[in-house]
């Protein structure tokens, strides 16, 4: 973009905010390498809002008159209108970032004499930190809404489909019967914790660094609290050196997004497995599937595979930024520019992913008969042991006895529920005529009434807790 600028070795352009110190030219590749305008332009509105708040506060410091502020505000709103209409013209080699671009254009609109006063006591260091926090705060608010919709979708589905029983798995081996709704709520539990964490992250993002200058603070007694209030921040950061260098709020957002995407990946993996012909418990809607260019019969769960794959993308951004920041000395260093792309891409990826997952879950078809058919009597071996526990037999003994029944059924080549009472009593005389009632999958899940279990009442309690959280 800037490869043909300054080939004559001239000094940096005079309207670069830092150009006065330098007499030698920049390598054209260095110009492009240094620029961030191609991605931080996304924050034009936040940069303008911060500039207006800063200018307004400088009326009280005496830096600006009311008339000068009015010109600056009007000019900045005109710049914003150009961005919104996609008419803003970026000047390669001069507009290295959004701050430089906006100030350059402001000077063209209202004149440099007044526009030049805007930057008094301000640095791009506190500008960029302010812009990022403003932008990220609003995106996290959007994310909160997306996540709430996902959780409501899961809760609604779990309540409507509470009757259905399916195999529960450990080690991907059939273990015990559970309700399909209980599985859904297991994922909702993880996402609800992400939902709670998000509000905590949002609170730490929503703190103002505006007025810190380059690193030492503002020398004109600017009212930082007034600027923070105008911009909707909850509080101001307390230390200028820490606030300028702080990218913890971005790293924490990336950590939050990585954890959410980890949970998203696990949900996707479950649904991918259950959508295979070998399981056939669920089927994705056409809107979230693709076909094969070679095999006409294929219906691929690409939406879920992308959710699973993009988890790795978010992990990479998080780890990469942490490695970039970990060795930086105090206050601002150019390494921190690496936080831009990681933040922008992660927020977009996570936001899109939550919405895709909501679409998948709201349109998913389930096949309860297939779930029922996948249940087998050996999955009730624990129920068999619990039957004897209720007769006063120690669990360690009942576990061994139940294992003997499983072994007998395997030896006989028959399911456990087809063993006669007499055969069961030969294993242990304490089995009574009522033992056959054990081999009932609905009965099994309804035994799990304790909080967090998979009985109807326990699942409904989970759903109500989730609904209360979302209120």
In a domain, 458, yes or no: no
How far is CA 383 from each of CA 60, 102, 161, 297, 387, rounded to the nearest angstrom? 76, 70, 24, 41, 6
Q: Are residues 139 and 217 in the same domain?
A: yes
Q: Are residues 222 and 324 in the same domain?
A: yes
When pLDDT is cut at 50, 70 and 90, the band that residue 34 belongs to is: low
Q: Are residues 145 and 220 in the same domain?
A: yes
Does the annotation count 171 as an active-site position? yes
In a domain, 14, yes or no: no
The parent domain of residue 287 ranges over: 124-373
Q: Are residues 339 and 390 in the same domain?
A: no
Does the annotation count 292 as an active-site position? yes
Which is catalytic among the residues 3, 235, 292, 330?
Answer: 292
Q: Are residues 93 and 145 in the same domain?
A: no
* pLDDT, average across residues 258-282: 97
In a domain, 422, yes or no: yes
Whole-model pTM over 0.75:
yes
In a domain, 409, yes or no: yes
* pLDDT, average across residues 230-251: 97
Q: Are residues 293 and 423 in the same domain?
A: no
Residue 299: per-residue pLDDT: 85
Residue at a domain's end among 373, 398, 421: 373
In a domain, 467, yes or no: no
Q: Are residues 51 and 158 in the same domain?
A: no
Q: Are residues 359 and 344 in the same domain?
A: yes
Residue at a domain's end among 51, 83, 115: 115
- What are 280-329's pLDDT values in tens digits? 999 999 999 887 666 767 789 999 999 999 999 999 999 999 999 999 99
When pLDDT is cut at 50, 70 and 90, the band that residue 5 belongs to is: very low
Helix/strand/coil (H/E/C) assignment for every residue in the chain: CCCCCCCCCCCCCCCCCCHHHCCCCCCHHHHHHHCCHHHHHHHHHHHHHHHHHHHHHHHHCCCCCHHHHHHHHHHHHHHHHHHHCCCCCCCCCCCCCHHHHHHHHHHHHHCHHHHCCCCCCCCHHHHHHHHHHHHHHHHHHHHHHHHHHHHHHHHHHHHHCCCCEEEEEECCEEEEEEEHHHHHHHHHHHHHHHHHHHHHHHHHHCEECCCCCCCCCCCCCCCHHHHHHHHCCCEECCCHHHHHHCCHHHHHHHHHHHHHHHHHHHHHHHHHHHCCCCCCCEECCHHHCECCCCCCCCCECHHHHHHHHHHHHHHHHHHHHHHHHCCCCCCCCHHHHHHHHHHHHHHHHHHHHHHHHHHHHHHCEECHHHHHHCCCHHHHHHHHHHHHHCCCCCHHHHHHHHHHHHHHHHHHCCCHHHCCHHHHHHHCCCCCHHHHHHCCHHHHHHCCCCCCCCCHHHHHHHHHHHHHHHC
Residue at a domain's end among 84, 115, 146: 115
In a domain, 446, yes or no: no
Q: Are residues 151 and 31 in the same domain?
A: no
In a domain, 305, yes or no: yes
Q: Are residues 202 and 295 in the same domain?
A: yes
How far is CA 5 from each of CA 8, 12, 88, rounded to the nearest angstrom? 8, 10, 20
The domain that holds 321 is classified in CATH as 1.20.200.10
Residue 6 has pLDDT above 70, yes or no: no
Residue 10 has pLDDT above 50, yes or no: no
In a domain, 60, yes or no: yes
> How many distinct structural domains can be found in the chain?
3
Residue 200 has pLDDT above 60, yes or no: yes
The domain that holds 111 is classified in CATH as 1.10.275.10
Q: Are residues 109 and 50 in the same domain?
A: yes
Q: Are residues 110 and 167 in the same domain?
A: no
């Amino acid at each position: 973009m800037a490869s043909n600028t300054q080939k004559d070795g001239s000094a940096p352009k005079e309207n670069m905010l830092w150009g006065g110190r330098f007499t030698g030219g920049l390598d054209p590749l260095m110009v492009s390498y240094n620029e961030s305008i191609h991605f931080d332009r996304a924050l034009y509105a936040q940069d303008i809002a911060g500039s207006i708040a800063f200018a307004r506060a400088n009326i009280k410091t005496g830096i600006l008159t009311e008339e000068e502020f009015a010109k600056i505000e009007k000019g900045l709103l005109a710049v914003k209108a150009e961005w919104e209409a996609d008419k803003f013209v970026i000047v390669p080699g001069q507009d290295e970032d959004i701050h430089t671009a906006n100030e350059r254009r402001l000077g063209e609109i209202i004149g440099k004499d007044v526009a030049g006063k805007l930057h008094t006591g301000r640095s791009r260091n506190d500008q960029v930190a302010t812009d990022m926090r403003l932008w990220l705060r609003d995106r996290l608010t959007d994310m909160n809404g997306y996540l709430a919709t996902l959780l409501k979708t899961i809760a609604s589905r779990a309540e409507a489909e509470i009757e259905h029983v399916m195999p529960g798995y450990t080690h991907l081996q059939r273990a015990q019967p559970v309700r399909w709704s209980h599985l859904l709520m297991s994922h909702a539990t993880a996402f609800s914790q992400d939902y709670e964490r998000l509000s905590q992250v949002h609170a730490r993002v929503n703190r103002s660094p505006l007025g810190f200058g380059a690193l030492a603070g503002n020398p004109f007694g600017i009212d930082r609290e007034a600027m923070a209030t105008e911009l909707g921040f909850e509080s101001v950061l307390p230390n200028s050196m820490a606030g300028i260098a702080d990218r913890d709020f971005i790293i924490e957002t990336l950590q939050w997004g990585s954890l959410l995407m980890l949970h998203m990946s696990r949900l996707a993996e479950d649904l991918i497995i259950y959508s295979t012909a070998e399981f056939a418990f669920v089927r994705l809607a056409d809107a979230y599937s693709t076909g094969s260019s070679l095999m006409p019969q294929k219906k691929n769960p690409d939406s879920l595979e992308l959710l699973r794959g993009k988890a790795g993308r978010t992990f990479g951004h998080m780890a990469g930024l942490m490695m970039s920041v970990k060795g930086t000395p105090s206050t601002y260093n150019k390494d921190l520019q690496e936080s831009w792309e990681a933040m922008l891409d992660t927020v977009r990826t996570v936001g899109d992913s939550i919405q895709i997952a909501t679409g998948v879950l709201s349109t998913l078809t389930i096949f309860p008969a297939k779930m029922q058919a996948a249940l087998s009597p050996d999955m009730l071996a624990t129920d068999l042991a619990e039957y004897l526990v209720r007769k006063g037999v120690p669990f360690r003994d009942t576990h061994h006895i139940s294992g003997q029944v499983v072994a007998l059924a395997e030896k006989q080549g028959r399911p456990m529920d087809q063993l006669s009472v007499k055969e069961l009593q030969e294993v242990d005389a304490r089995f009574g005529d009522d033992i056959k009632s054990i081999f009932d999958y609905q009965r099994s899940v309804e035994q799990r009434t304790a909080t967090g279990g998979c009985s109807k009442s326990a699942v409904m309690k989970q759903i109500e807790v989730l609904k209360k959280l979302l209120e």
